[in-house]
Structure 1
Amino acid sequence: MKALQVGLIAAASLSSVPALAQDQDLAKQLSNPVASLISLPFQFNHDSGYGSADGEKNVLNVQPVIPIDLNENWNVIARVIVPIIDQKDIAGESGSQSGLGDILASFFFSPKEPTANGLIWGAGPAFYLPTASDELLGAEKWAIGPTAVVLKQSGNWTFGGLANHLWSVAGEDDRNDISSTFLQPFMAYTTPTAWTFSLNTESTYDWKAEEWSVPINMQIAKLMQFGAQPVSLQVGARYWADTPENGPKDDWGARASVTWLFPKG
């Protein structure tokens, strides 16, 4: 009987190894913005201390990522950010607003295989759409520009950067034009048990106002299986290294997210 029990325990341990390796691989793919993986993140952000009235903002970003198979060598990765915003006194004593913000849609043409030196990259257009349900929730401008990402995954590490630049091309004449550069260098470490520790900035430079917005994000994520459904749970904090004049004056903000993954069967 003892021999049978030992055998069953050993078999269970061995069978868990492929599952752990699969979870780690999925967690690493989440650190790759152009991975061929359908995912649906729900990312919540809280920041406070805006402007003269010490306003606050809560944003739920719904961010579907959909890879499209072009041919045997290329994918197009569609990444869409749909913000749902609740804010108060964001521009002085401006009251409360809730609803849809402006949508950003990016499309990365990306080779299916890394380069000879292991680099993964993608590039394409980005579109900023004036979908906000309230004038204080968006820019009321259409904008377009290039976007690109490059990264390398080595062992448990992921290093890379994502960038875009947007210029307004149409919209309300009484609103400020858009000319902004977004820079997101990032690094992540994924353990064999599918924990991921990541650090990035999501810096934006407004060329019209000549102002930086520089949040530094520190995050911990764990990939889990709910039945057959892989889900990544993430929590983190954000330190504002620099903000625009009307940006959040409180140094720290918070982030939490849930990401549903749909790997190819």
Structure 2
Amino acid sequence: MSLLVPKRAPAQDSQDELAKQLANPVASLISVPFQSNLDYGGGTGDAFRYTLNIQPVIPISLSSDWNLITRTILPFSHVERVYPDHRTGLGDVVQSFFLSPARPTESGITWGVGPAFLYPTATDGLGQRQWGAGPTGVILRQAGPWIVGALANHIWSLGGTPDRSEDVDATFLQPFINYVTPSQTTYFLNTESTYDWSRREWTVPINLGVNQLVNLGGQRVQIGGGLRYIAASPDGGPDWGLRFNLVFVFPR
């Protein structure tokens, strides 16, 4: 006696693949994430920081074998009880360019390398106010529902406001693990660690949460959120936080 396994509909398979692409920083997929971070603690002891990161990802096909992926992070912040005054405004923009093969290797590995740039767009008191640049790279492996990898960059100062006492010299490390279910639910765990070589200080938030891909009026959207534990931070830095994600997806 044989068991009959129902076949999955092609549309279901495509939605599963779409959820996996969203967990891949260099997927050939146009997306516009809105990432809200609410961080608490530090400062006077009851400080509050809200940061909205708008992070459009735009792939450009260079040939049948290569893509150029642009990733831009535009932060908007509101900070209370950290400084003598409340501060609200834009942060510095970071834009990365990844040259990446159009298809993963036979073992499921995807990678991308390129430059990253820092633009001094911040409101006074909310950024470095300096131009910067450096290398960036990402590597990941997809094995069934698991997507494991890391993204990194290092940015040095190129110049800026002369009254800044310290140059930008920072390393960013983001190892990540994602598990994508057949129902397009993604469980994620990552860190977004930054080491400031000028001040010799670590900032290490650890993020744990879940995202769900849904259809809202014909528009594919991923929504979700999670907890942030700040394992290390400079004096006055936050202790813990929350993260909420809203990602508009535009399959090619």
TM-score (norm 2): 0.94
Question: What residue number does 1:35 align with?
Answer: 27
Check if 1:136 corresponds to 2:125. yes
Greater mean deviation of Cα atoms: 17-26 or 213-222: 17-26
> Do 1:20 and 1:194's aligned partners in 2 also have CA atoms closer than 8 Å?
no
Check if 1:120 corresponds to 2:110. yes
Q: Read off the aligned partner of 1:211 and give its amino acid letter.
A: E
- Unaligned 5+ residue runs, structure 2? 1-5
Give the whole-Å Cα distance in 1 for the aligned partners of 2:175 and 2:229. Answer: 15
Question: What residue number does 2:3 align with?
Answer: none
Question: What residue number does 1:18 align with?
Answer: 10
SS class of match (1:109): strand
SS class of match (1:137): coil
Give the whole-Å Cα distance in 1 for the aligned partners of 2:117 and 2:48. Answer: 27
Check if 1:69 corresponds to 2:61. yes
How far residue 21 of structure 1 moved from its aligned partner, in angstroms, is 2.1
Structure with greater helix percent: 1
How far residue 53 of structure 1 moved from its aligned partner, in angstroms, is 5.9
Match of 2:242 among 238, 249, 254: 254
Question: What residue number does 1:104 align with?
Answer: 94
Give the whole-Å Cα distance in 2 for the aligned partners of 1:263 and 1:177. Answer: 40
Give the whole-Å Cα distance in 1 for the aligned partners of 2:95 and 2:209. Answer: 24
- Unaligned 5+ residue runs, structure 1? 1-12
Matches within 5 A, 1:136-175: 136-175=125-164
Question: What residue number does 1:191 align with?
Answer: 181
Match of 1:60 among 46, 52, 76: 52
- The higher radius of gyration belongs to 1
How many residue pairs were aligned? 246
Q: Read off the aligned partner of 2:131 and give its amino acid letter.
A: W
How far residue 32 of structure 1 moved from its aligned partner, in angstroms, is 0.3
Give the whole-Å Cα distance in 2 for the aligned partners of 1:118 and 1:235. Answer: 27
Question: What residue number does 1:9 align with?
Answer: none
Same amino acid, percent of matched pairs: 50
SS class of match (1:80): strand
How far residue 48 of structure 1 moved from its aligned partner, in angstroms, is 1.9
Give the whole-Å Cα distance in 1 for the aligned partners of 2:125 and 2:82. Answer: 8
Q: Read off the aligned partner of 1:160 and give its amino acid letter.
A: G
Q: Read off the aligned partner of 1:207 and give its amino acid letter.
A: W
Deviations along 1:222-257, whole A, 9 cap, x unmatched? 000113211000111111111112311x2x200001
How far residue 56 of structure 1 moved from its aligned partner, in angstroms, is 1.5
Question: What residue number does 1:223 align with?
Answer: 213
Matches within 5 A, 1:193-212: 193-212=183-202
TM-score (norm 1): 0.89
